């Protein structure tokens, strides 16, 4: 029986070949919001992994929504042209559909990248004004954001709509709104960052109001047959912050608004950090999935294929999303298929790398799906062995 990790899943008009999701990974390598050749190489390799879906890193919907000067954006014609070039190459040569995450960094914008410390930019370093639900800095020595009024909310909604329209023109098969990790939409949801006293602050219903307005506008601008999802916190990991019960209520409201999938993460609205380990956030996904029935992704150091399989088998999630695991091992999907006795899609140029096509490679330690010597024959050249039965695709 095929491993559930390698069974298909349908999201609106899109059917994914398997449940392996490559999560968004900031590369901090853009130039004025435009992707570069680094992104072509990075994404091109991941696009050949045979995964169910590949998310590009969070694209800021306006320049002030970038975390750093090196973050990609989708707010100009030039950025759209540059991104289209990369996406076309991945689509032409890859075997993995591409999606994009759209976001706004809010009060956590205008920073150095993590590799140079991640601290807020100073005036002489090209800093810019940040915005947020309240005029509260993220931490000491951080920028104090400008509190958003209705006009600023409308600007941000319009920027997201424009980015959604650009995403459709480029050819992405799905869009994810970034509402996690203490960035703008997460800030509205969290009592740690949202101290408003109007209809957009205070109660959970009020704190959800702007995020739901924004999602509804994005969904209306996106084709009906294409899925749209949301990444949000299942908890702030802070006793004073957003709770899992809050997250479930938000998920239920998103479901009613036409959300097709959830990507459940946590933290980022304060400096509080939880103990981490393999699958440490999966139970957050499980709570949301069980309460809504909406296809849900689990994240959080899920690098062991057997752990990924176990999470699916016990109903904690419908998909698993990996980020650092793919940075370390861009063909993780191939290894997972081999270890779980399933099949993965290999580009023709890489088929010989499939361990199942290595005759005499295992010396009695072959997997349960291993081959028998009788299955092999000499190829066109004496040193090349080919399978009599097509395997691995």
Domain ranges, ordered by start, for the chain: 4-344, 346-393
Q: Which of 12-21, 57-66, 330-339, 384-393 has the lowest mean pLDDT?
A: 384-393
The one catalytic residue among 28, 75, 183, 346: 183
CATH for 4-344 is: 3.20.20.70
Query: In this predicted model, what pLDDT tens digit does every residue of 75-119 receive, in sequence order?
Result: 999 999 999 999 999 999 999 999 999 999 999 999 999 999 999
* 322-347 mean pLDDT: 96
Query: Which pLDDT band holds residue 391 (cuts at 50, 70, 90)?
Result: very low
220: which 2 tokens? 């209306």
| Nearest alpha carbon to residue 201 among 192, 215, 285 | 192
* 47-62 mean pLDDT: 98
Residue 124: the pLDDT is 95
Q: Is the pLDDT of residue 386 over 50?
A: no
* 134-144 mean pLDDT: 97
Residue 393: the pLDDT is 34
Q: Is the pLDDT of residue 209 over 60?
A: yes
**346 assigned to active site:** no
Q: Is the pLDDT of residue 243 over 80?
A: yes
Q: Is the pLDDT of residue 240 over 70?
A: yes
Residue 357: the pLDDT is 85
- % of the chain residues with pLDDT over 70: 91
Residue 360: the pLDDT is 61
- Higher pLDDT: 355 or 81? It is 81
Q: Is the pLDDT of residue 369 over 60?
A: no
């Amino acid at each position: 029986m095929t491993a559930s990790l390698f069974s298909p899943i349908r999201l609106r008009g899109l059917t994914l070949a398997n449940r392996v999701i490559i999560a968004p990974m900031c590369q901090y390598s853009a130039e004025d919001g435009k992707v570069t050749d680094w992104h072509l190489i990075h994404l091109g390799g991941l696009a050949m992994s045979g995964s169910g879906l590949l998310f590009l890193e969070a694209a800021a919907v306006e320049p002030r929504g970038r975390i750093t000067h090196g973050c990609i954006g989708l707010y100009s014609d030039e950025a759209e042209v540059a991104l289209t070039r990369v996406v076309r190459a991945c689509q032409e040569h890859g075997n993995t559909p591409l999606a994009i995450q759209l976001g706004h960094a809010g009060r956590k914008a205008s920073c150095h990248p993590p590799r140079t410390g991640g601290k807020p930019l100073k005036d002489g370093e090209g800093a810019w004004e940040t915005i947020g639900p309240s005029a509260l800095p993220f931490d000491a020595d951080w920028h104090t954001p400008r509190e958003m009024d209705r006009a600023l909310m409308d600007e941000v909604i319009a920027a997201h709509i424009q980015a959604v329209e650009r995403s459709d023109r480029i050819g992405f098969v799905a869009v994810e709104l970034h509402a996690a990790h203490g960035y703008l939409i997460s800030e509205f949801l969290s009592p740690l960052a949202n101290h408003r006293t109007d209809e957009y602050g205070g109660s959970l219903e009020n704190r959800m109001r702007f995020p739901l307005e924004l999602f509804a506008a994005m969904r209306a601008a996106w084709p009906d047959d294409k899925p749209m999802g949301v990444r949000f916190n299942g908890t702030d990991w802070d006793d004073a912050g957003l709770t899992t019960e809050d997250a479930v209520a938000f998920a239920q409201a998103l479901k009613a608004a036409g959300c097709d999938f959830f990507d459940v993460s946590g933290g980022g609205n304060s400096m509080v950090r939880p103990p981490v380990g393999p699958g440490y956030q999966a139970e957050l996904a499980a709570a949301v999935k069980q309460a809504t029935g909406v296809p849900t992704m689990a994240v959080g150091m899920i690098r062991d294929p057997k752990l990924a399989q176990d999470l699916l088998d016990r109903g904690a999630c419908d998909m698993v999303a990996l980020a650092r695991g793919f940075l370390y091992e861009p063909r993780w999907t191939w290894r997972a298929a081999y270890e779980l006795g399933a099949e993965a899609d290999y580009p023709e140029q890489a088929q010989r790398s499939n361990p199942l096509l290595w005759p005499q490679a295992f010396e009695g330690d072959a997997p349960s799906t291993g081959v028998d010597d009788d299955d092999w024959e000499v190829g066109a050249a004496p040193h090349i062995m080919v399978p009599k039965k097509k395997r691995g695709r």
